């Protein structure tokens, strides 16, 4: 049943240029505010205006969710019909979303996707990098005509400076974007300009005002000699920048490669293989640092059946030398599921992954208090954050900030109902909620929930996800406020 508020407020907000929260279809029964002794969950808000849909589910990758320096959440997503990438922020005391603002100019219609965002909290600036492909070429992963572009906002996303090219025109894929402090911005991406894919890098030294015209190829060997993917950028002390990626030379197994820069990404050391055994197929590297010269890395080792082990390695001298890599978990980690993060200061690190089991798969958590010297299973049931059988989970996302460790994922139940669920820890992963928080529940077979995103600011955890019904995509948002923090 529609309330009087749901009928009047959206029309008023539309008149004022603000996107009011949607009333939602019947397939979203969990919508109202929820309040417990441990947390308070806001009502569900539709982010995109009605009738203004993101790209179809097939091409919708990851709408970006983040919080600015003041803790205001914002979303960057891609409109359908080659209508460009847009920005929205939460307004009206968290009761509505602003009208979409184009991030990049559309002087020539082009497909845009894969937004990557970064924030300079001190200056109040928001940065967005994205992938662009001319409409004149087919919307497909392969082929040329692709470029990565960048834009920034100085007023909280209300307006955007004209975009600048990060990569050369050719075969760029989704960019990674990291803010390194003091106006330093770093971006890396895989690129098919040389037939197969190489790893390229570029850096801005002035908060994105300028980017070098010549990007830097970091893949070892001759251009186009294999497939490079999954860059992981870590800024270090001084001018140090560290980058790890996977590379499979044509006809050989995939290896983990590492490069370092001592001048804010202007020049780079030659790539070096980090994994010890070149006969093993390694992929999906993740890397974090201690802010100085300590680096910790993890990746997946694949067996022919698609399963394998999680490897770990570390360097205490800025990547000049690495310890012998070792297995930290060897049951059934599956797919591109290994997520590696740090929570605040100190040397404690966390590892999350999806683990496939006979009765479903589970979200697993391990932590190390000493930067990888020793590891301990977290969670409430032998490392599991989502205990129980008959559950299939996927699309795991995690975040750590302000003393909160949180995760969200897409979950399929025994009854085939799909949920977007979440869990969090307030004691650095030692304990988690006994029951997962259900953000949304699907009761219709023609509806798909996917692409959950997460961000944290102080005692608030922000969640975003996509719902696809009859090939039409909508984005939904909820905010969880943690109670009784010490």
What was the pLDDT predicted at 161?
97
Both tokens assigned to 376: 């301990």
Instruction: Look up the CATH number of the domain holding residue 95.
Output: 2.115.10.20
From the number of C-beta atoms within 10 Å of its C-beta (0-12, 13-18, 19+), residue 122 rates as exposed
What was the pLDDT predicted at 2?
31
Using alpha carbons, list the distances in angstroms from residue 480 to 94, 459, 463.
12, 8, 8
Q: Would 39 be classed as within a structural domain? A: no
Name the residue range of residue 118's domain: 57-181
Q: Would 332 be classed as within a structural domain? A: no
Residue 356: count other Cβ atoms within 10 Å of its Cβ: 17
Mean pLDDT by 10-residue block, N- to C-terminus, for the chain (486 residues)?
31 35 41 89 93 69 88 92 87 91 81 92 96 67 74 96 90 94 97 91 98 96 92 94 93 91 98 87 89 90 74 94 88 62 75 77 86 84 70 84 89 73 89 88 70 94 90 92 86
What was the pLDDT predicted at 49?
93
What would the DSSP string read from start to end of 239-289?
Answer: T-EEEEEEEEETTS-EEEEEEEESSTTSS-PPPEE-SS-TTS-EEEEEEEE
Q: Would 375 be classed as within a structural domain? A: no
| Total domains in the fold of the chain | 1
Q: Would 133 be classed as within a structural domain? A: yes
DSSP 370: T
Tell me the H-state helices in 379-439.
none
What was the pLDDT predicted at 300?
86
Nearest Cα to Cα of residue 241 among 158, 181, 164, 171: 181
Q: Would 22 be classed as within a structural domain? A: no
Q: Would 165 be classed as within a structural domain? A: yes
Q: Would 188 be classed as within a structural domain? A: no
Q: Would 298 be classed as within a structural domain? A: no
């Amino acid at each position: 049943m529609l309330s009087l508020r749901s009928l009047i407020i959206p029309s008023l907000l539309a008149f004022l240029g603000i996107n009011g929260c949607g009333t939602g279809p019947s397939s979203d029964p969990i919508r109202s505010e929820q309040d417990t002794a441990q947390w308070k969950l806001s009502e569900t808000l539709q982010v995109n205006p009605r009738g203004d849909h993101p790209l179809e589910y097939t091409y919708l990758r990851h709408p970006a969710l983040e919080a600015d320096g003041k803790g205001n959440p914002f979303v960057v997503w891609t409109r359908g019909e080659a209508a460009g990438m847009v920005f929205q922020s939460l307004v009206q005391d968290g009761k509505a979303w602003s009208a979409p603002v184009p991030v990049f100019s559309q002087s020539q219609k082009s497909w845009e996707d894969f937004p990557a965002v970064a924030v300079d909290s001190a200056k109040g600036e928001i940065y967005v990098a994205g992938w662009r492909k001319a409409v004149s070429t087919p919307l497909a992963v392969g082929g040329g005509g692709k470029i990565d572009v960048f834009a920034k906002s100085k007023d909280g996303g209300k307006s955007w400076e004209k975009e600048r090219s990060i990569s050369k025109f050719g075969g760029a894929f989704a960019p990674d974007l990291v803010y390194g402090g003091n106006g330093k911005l770093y971006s890396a991406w895989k690129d098919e300009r040389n037939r197969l894919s190489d790893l390229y890098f570029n850096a801005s030294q002035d908060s994105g005002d300028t980017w070098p015209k010549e990007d830097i190829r970091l893949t070892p060997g001759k251009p186009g000699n294999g497939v490079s993917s999954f860059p992981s950028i870590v800024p270090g002390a001084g001018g140090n920048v560290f980058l790890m990626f996977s590379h499979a030379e044509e006809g050989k197994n995939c290896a983990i490669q590492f490069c370092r820069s001592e001048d804010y990404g202007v020049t780079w050391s030659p790539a070096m293989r980090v994994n010890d055994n070149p006969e093993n197929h390694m992929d999906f590297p993740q890397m974090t640092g201690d802010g100085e010269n300590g680096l910790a890395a993890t990746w997946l080792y694949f067996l022919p059946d698609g399963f394998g082990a999680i490897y770990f390695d570390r360097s205490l001298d800025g990547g000049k030398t690495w310890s012998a890599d070792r297995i930290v978990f060897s049951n059934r980690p599956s797919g591109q599921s290994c997520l590696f993060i740090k929570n605040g200061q100190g040397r404690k690190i966390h590892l999350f992954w999806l683990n496939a089991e006979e009765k479903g798969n589970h979200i697993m958590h391990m932590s190390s208090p000493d930067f990888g010297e020793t590891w301990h299973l977290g969670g409430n049931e032998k490392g599991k954050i989502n205990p129980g059988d008959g559950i299939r989970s996927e699309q795991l996302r995690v975040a750590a900030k302000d003393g909160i460790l949180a995760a969200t994922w897409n979950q399929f139940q025994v009854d085939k109902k799909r949920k977007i669920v979440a869990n969090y820890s307030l004691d650095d992963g030692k304990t988690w909620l006994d029951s997962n928080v259900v953000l949304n529940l699907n009761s219709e077979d023609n509806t798909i929930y996917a692409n959950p995103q997460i961000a944290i600011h102080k005692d608030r955890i922000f969640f975003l996800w996509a719902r696809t019904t009859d090939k039409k995509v909508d984005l939904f948002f909820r905010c969880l406020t943690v109670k009784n923090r010490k």
